[in-house]
Structure 1
């Protein structure tokens, strides 16, 4: 009985180790995604269909990169027209 407990403990800890391959979310940054529109489009489609496989971290970075490309840096202030529009 005393030999089984340490064996089970070692087996349990071995199963909880980190995976060998790094995840995509650890590799790609928002800036890298925003700079590569083809890769961004591909990942956006994958996040729509396979979010559970890709993970929330990567899909959140994809969404942030999409927003960054759409809105830009936000340096252009809104300037309303001088005359109000007539409908």
Structure 2
């Protein structure tokens, strides 16, 4: 049983490739050129870039455009 589990663990770990560095919305806000580059890549081939990174770039662009305005409360 233990050998089977070790073999499955080894197969699972070899299937995992190196992950790309995670770009957060905050790091993108600080780098507008990177936002533009990601948005261009998303327009060309969104499946290659990935939905999550495209959404982060969109959120970063929105934050840069609107700034840190406080939210208005509804009456």
TM over 0.5: yes
| Offset, 1:23 | 2.3
User: Which of these residues, 42, 47, 59, is aligned with residue 37 of structure 2?
Assistant: 42
Partners in 2 of 1:56 and 1:23 — Cα distance? 14
Length, aligned pairs only: 65
Q: TM-score, normalised by structure 1?
A: 0.61
Counterpart in the other structure of 1:56: 51
Alpha-carbon distance in 2 for matches of 1:75, 1:69: 14
Q: What is the CA-CA distance between 1:17 and the residue it aligns to?
A: 2.4
Q: Which deviations, in whole Å up to 9, do the C-alpha atoms of 1:44-73 show, x marking residues without a partner?
A: 111111110011111110010011011111
Larger radius of gyration: 1
1:14 equivalent among 6, 11, 30: 11
Residue of structure 2 in register with 1:72 after alignment: 67
Q: Which residues of structure 1 form unaligned runs of 5+?
A: 1-5, 78-87
Gaps of 5+ in 2: none
Q: TM-score when scaled to structure 2?
A: 0.70
Q: Pick from 5, 20, 24: which aligns with 1:23? A: 20
Aligned Cα root-mean-square deviation (Å): 2.6
Q: Counting helix residues as a fraction of each chain, which structure ranks higher?
A: 2
